[in-house]
């Protein structure tokens, strides 16, 4: 069984809570962490190195696409890192 550590990023706490509740039903997707802003997301990606990032695209400080461009490490938008390539 594969396990995919997941990071949840959304600036709206109710949306994060719903995603966390849904993920709790799937033990193959343990939550590595959560973030409420783009800057927090970059820090969490750096520190936690999740397999999957559920990323809100509209956030006040920086949008999800900016997070993907600025996050360190491998190209997060390459087709070999995501189920679907980033737009």
Q: Where are the domains of the chain?
A: 6-70
Positive or negative: CA dihedral 43, 46, 49, 55: positive
Distance of CA 65 to the CA centre of its chain: 11
d(CA 81, CA 22): 23
The superfamily CATH assigns to domain 6-70 is Response regulator (3.40.50.2300)
87 pLDDT above the threshold of 80:
no
Per-residue pLDDT reduced to its tens digit, 36-61:
999 999 999 999 999 999 999 999 99
Mean pLDDT of the chain: 88
Task: Give the pLDDT score at 74.
Answer: 59
| Percent of the chain residues topping a pLDDT of 90 | 77
């Amino acid at each position: 069984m594969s396990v995919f550590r997941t990071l949840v990023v959304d600036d709206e706490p109710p949306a994060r809570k719903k995603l966390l509740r849904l993920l709790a039903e799937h033990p193959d997707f343990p939550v590595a962490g959560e973030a409420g802003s783009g800057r927090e997301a970059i820090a969490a990606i750096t520190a936690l190195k999740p397999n999957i990032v559920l990323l809100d695209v509209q956030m006040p400080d920086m949008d999800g696409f900016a997070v993907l461009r600025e996050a360190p490490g491998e190209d997060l938008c390459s087709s070999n890192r995501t189920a679907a390539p980033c737009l």
